[in-house]
Amino acid sequence: MKANPWKLIQQHYRTLRDYRTEELRKRDWGLLVGVPVIVFIGCVLLHLRLPKGASVGLLTTAGVLTAFFFGVMLQVAGRALEWADSRPPVGPETSWQAQFLQEIAANAGYATLVSILVAAVFVGALIATGSTALTILSSLGIALAIHLALMLSMVLTRVYALIVNRLTDARVGGASGNVTPLPGRQTGT
């Protein structure tokens, strides 16, 4: 396989590290990984079994999200190629923009992979014949959907913070070389 999905997954999880110290952000990890694991265990213990109609609806939603996230990846790729071809000057601003594009690409690519997995799990829930299989697949699908929603909330928050920071920099003359760190990656946010 030419492209390794594990590298994409690693790059996504690298965005859960502190911008300055490179230490794992335990709060983000707990929210994005811990909460879905707890939801999965809770759903299994409650013997959650999604009705076929709910599985169809969630499968459809996951399919649409897969196409959307793949489109985002293509847009980021286009932006990155255009920007790199423009030969931007080397410096902190260029490094910052390159890092941001790489992180957004990793997040969008990871979201695409998770959406594909969610769709596959809901297909499994639709064709499951045993109650145990239906419980496990229903629980896994719900947990993965929550994981995806939480991850998207993180990315939306970071992109919004980027917009606010960049507009603030533009208003107060941020072109003085004082580059704002990537939103959501600095210590304490």
- Mean of the per-residue pLDDT values for the chain? 84
Higher per-residue confidence, 22 vs 60: 60
Which pLDDT score is estimated for 174? 59
> What mean pLDDT is predicted for residues 41-60?
93
> Residues 109, 8: contact at Cβ < 8 Å?
yes
69-84 pLDDT, tens digit each: 888 889 888 888 888 8
Q: Which of 1-10, 100-109, 111-120, 123-132 has the lowest mean pLDDT?
A: 1-10
Based on the number of CB atoms within 10 Å of its own CB, is 79 exposed (0-12), middle (13-18) or buried (19 or more)?
middle
Residue 183: pLDDT band by 50, 70, 90 thresholds?
low
Q: Where are the domains of the chain?
A: 72-170
Environment class of residue 80 by beta-carbon count within 10 Å: exposed (0-12), middle (13-18) or buried (19+)?
middle
pTM, whole model, 2 decimals?
Answer: 0.79
C-beta of residue 147 within 8 angstroms of C-beta of residue 9: no
Q: What pLDDT digit, counting tens, does each position of 124-173 carry?
A: 999 998 999 999 999 999 999 999 999 888 888 878 877 887 788 778 87
Using CA atoms, how far apart are residues 116 and 65, in angstroms rounded to an integer?
Answer: 9
Q: Are 110 and 102 in contact (CB under 8 A)?
A: no
